[in-house]
Amino acid sequence: MLWGRAAHRCAFPECRLSLFSDPTETDDESLIGEVCHIVAQSDEGPRGKSTLSATERDKYSNLILLCRNHHKIVDDQVSAYSVERLHEMKDAHETWVRESLGGFDAGEQRDKELYASYVDEFVARSDLNGWRGWISGLFSAGHQHIEKQRFEALTDLRNWIFTRVWPHRMTELEDAFANFRLVLQDLQLVFGKHSEDFGGNLGTKKFYQIERWDPPRYERLSSEYDFHTELVEDLALELTRAANYVCDLVRRRLDWNFRLAEGVLTVESGMYMDFTYHYFRPEYRSGERTSAPYPGLSKFKKVRSTRDLHMGTGDGPSGKGQDTGGSR
């Protein structure tokens, strides 16, 4: 929103410097502008004494786009450049962009802001900031689980994505959201097939445990249990790939700076018998980055072993595809 409304130009009066340098034959464009806080991120920073919360300080209303030189000036000369003056400067610049800049497309800007609002809501609803914390429960050795409240929130997220009104301007990004929803749907269907409620959590029931000793039956159920838990893990890996893909496309199509500080989403698996944990960074590879990287559950069982990471293989414990359900 900030870059679009400022038309990628410095908001300092009479500067209006374009904050991108053009690409060359061998290099990408260079970013020479900076997103600046009107009220500083901390109380100790320029104009930092404020009642604004930490979250409010990072929102659009407290940000202004400046070149590096003018960023330095307004932060060094805080008496001359007060909170009020910077807000006036920002408003005047955005008015100039709307009224005077021929290349400004109000409709495109409106659509970008709608996409940006959807991205912000997606981050909150999926808890991207706590991703590894909640999804890693599905990789807990011997105790596969997820908080019931989180599971319900994910169901709401699926429905929220499905009912969005999309501008159809960035179809690649829209397809990535749809891909995420389909993976999430199948993960919940598969996990839910053998889950039970215990103490606010949903966990995979150890259905191989039988009351009367029956070796053939025990071996069959153990094989089915291993297949089921590995499929849940592979779908959780796929969901992480799908979320990373959404983030990649947001950076490419909407906001180059999106979650650069946080980095890619990862998962943690363990603790194992040797008291260790394993950490994974699941991502779609170049040939998998299509409009629909996830092929649906039936085909995914066949191709999951070709992904960058996988926990299991095949259609079923005996190749018979006992574990069913799907979205396509």
Looking at residue 326, what is its pLDDT?
37
Q: Are strands 201-204 and 195-198 parallel, antiparallel or unpaired?
A: antiparallel
Tell the residue number behind the tokens 């997820």, with chain if given: 146
Asked whether residue 209 is assigned to any structural domain, the reply reads: yes
Looking at residue 137, what is its pLDDT?
94
Domain count, the chain: 2
Residue 135, domain extent = 109-306
Asked whether residue 244 is assigned to any structural domain, the reply reads: yes
Tell the residue number behind the tokens 């989403």, with chain if given: 265
Cβ atoms of 297 and 190 closer than 8 Å: yes
Looking at the structure, do residues 248 and 164 belong to the same domain, yes or no? Answer: yes
Looking at the structure, do residues 236 and 99 belong to the same domain, yes or no? Answer: no
| SS3 assignment, position 282 | coil
Asked whether residue 295 is assigned to any structural domain, the reply reads: yes
Asked whether residue 7 is assigned to any structural domain, the reply reads: yes
Asked whether residue 194 is assigned to any structural domain, the reply reads: yes
Tell the residue number behind the tokens 């959201």, with chain if given: 177
Looking at the structure, do residues 99 and 113 belong to the same domain, yes or no? Answer: no
Asked whether residue 318 is assigned to any structural domain, the reply reads: no
The rounded distance, in Å, linking the Cα atoms of 180 and 158 is: 9
Q: Are strands 201-204 and 145-147 parallel, antiparallel or unpaired?
A: antiparallel
Choosing from 52, 73, 104, the residue where a domain stops is 104
The rounded distance, in Å, linking the Cα atoms of 17 and 100 is: 15
Cβ atoms of 10 and 90 closer than 8 Å: no
Choosing from 55, 71, 104, the residue where a domain stops is 104
Asked whether residue 311 is assigned to any structural domain, the reply reads: no
Looking at residue 304, what is its pLDDT?
96
Query: Which of 6, 221, 239 has its CA nearest to residue 138?
Result: 239
Looking at the structure, do residues 136 and 65 belong to the same domain, yes or no? Answer: no
Looking at the structure, do residues 63 and 84 belong to the same domain, yes or no? Answer: yes
Give the distance from CA 26 to its chain's centroid: 30
The rounded distance, in Å, linking the Cα atoms of 283 and 265 is: 9
pTM to 2 decimals?
Answer: 0.75
Looking at the structure, do residues 118 and 216 belong to the same domain, yes or no? Answer: yes
Low-confidence ranges of the chain (pLDDT < 50): 319-328
Looking at residue 327, what is its pLDDT?
39
Asked whether residue 322 is assigned to any structural domain, the reply reads: no
The residues, any chain, with a CB within 8 Å of residue 313's CB and separated by 6 or more, are 304, 305
Q: Which helix (H) or strand (E) holds 10?
A: none
Looking at the structure, do residues 81 and 122 belong to the same domain, yes or no? Answer: no
Looking at the structure, do residues 97 and 171 belong to the same domain, yes or no? Answer: no
Looking at the structure, do residues 227 and 276 belong to the same domain, yes or no? Answer: yes
Please, what is the Cα angle at 33 between 30 and 37, to 5 degrees?
145
DSSP 307: S
Helix runs in the chain, H state only: 2-5, 54-57, 68-76, 83-100, 106-126, 131-135, 148-162, 171-193, 215-253, 297-303
- Name the β-bridge partners of 283: none
Cβ atoms of 131 and 154 closer than 8 Å: no
| SS3 assignment, position 29 | coil
Residue 88 half-sphere exposure toward CB, CA atoms < 13 A: 7
With residues binned 3-state (H G I as helix, E B as strand, rest as coil), the percentages for the chain, rounded to 5, are: 50, 10, 40
Looking at the structure, do residues 93 and 120 belong to the same domain, yes or no? Answer: no
- Whether the bond between 273 and the residue before it is cis, its omega within 30 degrees of 0, is no
Looking at the structure, do residues 156 and 90 belong to the same domain, yes or no? Answer: no
What is the identity of the amino acid at 18? Answer: S
Looking at the structure, do residues 68 and 148 belong to the same domain, yes or no? Answer: no
